[in-house]
Structure 1
Amino acid sequence: MNTMLIVFLKEVRENLRDRRTLGSALLFGPLIGPFIFALMMNTVITRELNKADQPLRIPVIGAQYAPNLIDALKQEGLIPRPPVANPEAAVRDQDADVVLRIPSDFDKSWRKGEASQVEMIYDSSQRETGGSIDRLRHMLETYSRRQGAMRLVARGLSPTMMAPVSVDDRDQSTPQSRAGQLFSILPYFFVLAVFMGGMYLAIDLTAGERERQSLEPLFANPVPRWKVLLGKLGAICVFSLASLTISVVGFGVCGRIIPAEKLGMTLNLGPAFALQVVLIMLPLVILLASLQTLVAAFAKSYREAQTYLSLLMMVPALPSVLLSVLPIKVAPWMFTVPLLGQQVGITQLLRGGELTSMQISTCVTCGLVVAVLATLVTAAVYRSERLAISA
């Protein structure tokens, strides 16, 4: 026990003096996620709200053929811009979000009581144009329904004949569940904070010492190697846990400055959320520390270990990608799978749900079992004489 404690304190003290490790574990790793997330969400929300509040300025071709329609759209907030010669090119080149084109026979069809067609020219692949397209479509649909009702009244018919089925929307979502859908990327940032918090320390304590030829004299001491390994893993876990804690606190601060309420959402990242996140993430701290040490043990240099661990970093992203693409219903077995259980649990918390004691215990227990297995495999590699050979 004294050996493990000595190795643990030695590694922690030495790496606290290393600015690169401190910057990665306690600054860059845990804070880059909240910074990027807050900047991105504030920019997107502010831009969309500003566009929604401002008048809709779009080019209109053939406005002279439907003056009543243009007047009605102006009352809804449309400001017609001069027509463009090539609307398709203007949309592709992002000179206009959407172009409204009114054909020359619009008034003839209107006088006959027939459907008069207009064209909305846009590029749906341009993500930032969605708000303008939806606003214009809503304006046109509102005008169409109003004029259709007036035609029926003029013929002595009830406007309700246009809608034989009335649909009453009853959305069961809550402000927090809608926020959970929008901010579902958060679990990956937490896993990334754990990974970045321990990565450089794991590289330095294995491949780095091997490259500096300091691993051979360490293993030459009459001390079981598994005790040396546990001391190193303890140091890595401390830095990873510190990185996770800073990241959770950082996102809690970001949750207060992101104007989610303007979108009808509630983002609750308070102390209760933070404590549950840290609890279910604890097994991943040990598991990732063991995996990082295991992968770094196969590298003979610091740079080679960086390459290997950069590839390993893609593994934690798999659950986030799967859950964002596949409409998977939450099932109890998911909490038994490391990474997936944490992803599902944190997403459930973001949506305003609660984790039961069974779900938390399953997630933590199964994660610890896998972490112990990974540690045993790493210990077996540490017993190899090849690990002590620097060249």
Structure 2
Amino acid sequence: MKALLAIIRKELKDALRDRRTLMTALFSSLLGAPLILLVFSTVLSQVESQEDKRQVLAVGMQYAPQLENFILRQGYQIKTAPVDYEAKSRSKEIDQPVLIISADFEEKLSHGEKVNLEVAYDTSNRNAEFGVRPLRHLLDSYNQEVMLMGLTMRGISSELLQLIEVKERYLQKQEERKTSVTEMLPMMVLMAIVVGGMYAAIDTTAGERERGSLEPLMMNPVNGWQLAVGKWSAVALVGVGVVILTIASFFPSQWLIKNDTLRAEFQFNFKDAMFFLMILIPLAASVAAMQIAVALDCKSYKEAQVRNQIVSMFIPFVSLIPIMFPGREPAWFKWIPVLAQNQMMNQVLRGEALNYLTVTIALFVCAGLTFLSLAYIAQKMRKVVMS
């Protein structure tokens, strides 16, 4: 036991001395959540600012007095677009879409002919693109009014065409929260776990081999399992530390959210943090064991880094699997590491109750992966010790 504790202390001290490990762990855990929430908050504010602007930029509005009257009645302002609106939209001098009205708009409309309205914007101009939805909603409302007025003038009640009224009824429970914007947070947390512990895992294997300190360590009276568990414990502690710091960063991150919609969706409390820890600590431990196993066969630090980066690419790919299954998620999701944790974290963010069978299955899967990885590491260590 003393030998095992000595190995853990030695490996943990080496990991904390490595500036690359510390900087990566701190950056990925402390800055990830605030940055992503700040970006989401900024984008949402841009979208809502376009909806609240209540301004229409138009070309040829003089050809549509009825439309002009309708827009003004809705509380919007109308401004004439510059002649070179196309160039200014591309250069982002104009932050709104431009409504283009043809000269024969009113004439065709009065004769009951179909007439087109154009909404022009450059797709690279994000602010202008955000303004398309409120403008289209305004034009759809005008189209509806014109249709109803036409029916009324012909003595036809509009209610005859509206025999069915559709109403939406939300099945979401009161305590459940929306997380449409924050669904990327679980993937960010998972990536922080992988990146945060990766350099510690590489340093304790390929790094020591390059420095020539691995062989003297193995000359001590310890067996392969003691070396494997000692190194894994140190790397796992770094990974768990990254998990704790990442989850802790969610609390001050909420202060950076200036958008009311996102603030209402992202409500992270102490209970949610405890659920996150329960979900993520077993995964962090198993990831640490797998990273050591991957790096153990490498003869150089660079080779181990490349291999572990390839393994880390597994997380974003797995996180995209639910897109292939819109609707109810298949039962086998709970058996796939990363996928199960991603699913459970989304449930916590939505305010849903966790299925403890899923939690238990994920725990046993992580424990199994950890044991298999440690067995492989111990076998490889034993061969080196005996050689």
TM-score, normalised with respect to structure 1:
0.89
For the residue of structure 2 that corresponds to 1:80, the secondary structure is strand
In the other structure, the counterpart of 1:329 is 328
Q: 1:15 to 1:263 in 2, by over 3 A?
A: closer
Deviations 1:64-99 (A, max 9, x none): 211221132133354434345576666555554422
| Deviation (angstroms), 1:274 | 1.1
For the residue of structure 1 that corresponds to 2:179, the secondary structure is helix
Is 1:66 aligned to 2:96, yes or no?
no
Distance 1:154 1:317 in 2: 59
Deviations 1:263-300 (A, max 9, x none): 69432321111111111212211211111111211222
Distance 1:122 1:162 in 2: 35
Q: Say which is worse superposed, 160-169 or 349-358, in terms of deviation.
A: 160-169
Question: Aligned AA for 2:39?
Answer: M
Q: 1:115 to 1:165 in 2, by over 3 A?
A: farther
Is 1:172 aligned to 2:171, yes or no?
yes
Question: Aligned AA for 2:13?
Answer: R
Q: 1:370 to 1:316 in 2, by over 3 A?
A: same
For the residue of structure 2 that corresponds to 1:166, the secondary structure is coil
Question: Aligned AA for 1:69?
Answer: L
Q: Say which is worse superposed, 206-215 or 275-284, in terms of deviation.
A: 275-284
Is 1:38 aligned to 2:43, yes or no?
no
Distance 2:265 2:107 in 1: 51
Q: Say which is worse superposed, 64-73 or 253-262, in terms of deviation.
A: 253-262
Deviations 1:239-268 (A, max 9, x none): 110110110111233235424643694323
Answer whether contact 2:8 2:231 (CA < 8 A) is retained: yes
Is 1:22 aligned to 2:4, yes or no?
no
Answer whether contact 2:90 2:124 (CA < 8 A) is retained: no
Is 1:317 aligned to 2:288, yes or no?
no
Answer whether contact 1:206 1:293 (CA < 8 A) is retained: yes
- Within 5 Å, which residues of 2 pair with 1:276-295? 276-295=275-294
- Within 5 Å, which residues of 2 pair with 1:77-156? 77-85=75-83, 94=92, 96=94, 97-123=96-122, 127-156=126-155
In the other structure, the counterpart of 1:356 is 355
Answer whether contact 2:55 2:77 (CA < 8 A) is retained: yes
In the other structure, the counterpart of 2:5 is 5
| Deviation (angstroms), 1:333 | 2.7
Q: 1:103 to 1:149 in 2, by over 3 A?
A: same
Q: Say which is worse superposed, 82-91 or 270-279, in terms of deviation.
A: 82-91
Q: 1:110 to 1:175 in 2, by over 3 A?
A: farther
Distance 1:382 1:325 in 2: 41
Question: Aligned AA for 1:268?
Answer: Q
The answer for unaligned runs of 5 or more in structure 1 is none
Distance 1:365 1:177 in 2: 28
| Deviation (angstroms), 1:354 | 0.9
| Deviation (angstroms), 1:190 | 1.7
Question: Aligned AA for 2:204?
Answer: L
Distance 1:150 1:259 in 2: 43
Deviations 1:194-252 (A, max 9, x none): 21221121111111110011111111223212201211110111111011011011123
| Deviation (angstroms), 1:162 | 4.1
Paired residues in the alignment total 386
| Deviation (angstroms), 1:127 | 4.7
In the other structure, the counterpart of 1:381 is 380
* Pairwise CA RMSD: 2.7
Question: Aligned AA for 1:61?
Answer: V
Distance 2:53 2:147 in 1: 28
For the residue of structure 2 that corresponds to 1:138, the secondary structure is helix
| Deviation (angstroms), 1:113 | 3.6
Q: Say which is worse superposed, 259-268 or 344-353, in terms of deviation.
A: 259-268
For the residue of structure 2 that corresponds to 1:185, the secondary structure is helix
- Within 5 Å, which residues of 2 pair with 1:128-277? 128-173=127-172, 179-259=178-258, 261-262=260-261, 265-277=264-276
Answer whether contact 1:176 1:266 (CA < 8 A) is retained: no
In the other structure, the counterpart of 1:340 is 339
Q: Say which is worse superposed, 162-171 or 348-357, in terms of deviation.
A: 162-171
Deviations 1:161-193 (A, max 9, x none): 343432212233468766322211111122122
Deviations 1:309-355 (A, max 9, x none): 22221112222222245426224432122111101111111122111
Distance 2:343 2:270 in 1: 19
Distance 1:51 1:175 in 2: 30
Instruction: Report % sequence identity.
Output: 30
The answer for unaligned runs of 5 or more in structure 2 is none
Answer whether contact 1:181 1:351 (CA < 8 A) is retained: no
Question: Aligned AA for 1:196?
Answer: V
Distance 1:77 1:40 in 2: 31
Answer whether contact 2:40 2:181 (CA < 8 A) is retained: no
Distance 2:283 2:86 in 1: 51
Distance 2:281 2:52 in 1: 45
Distance 1:11 1:311 in 2: 24
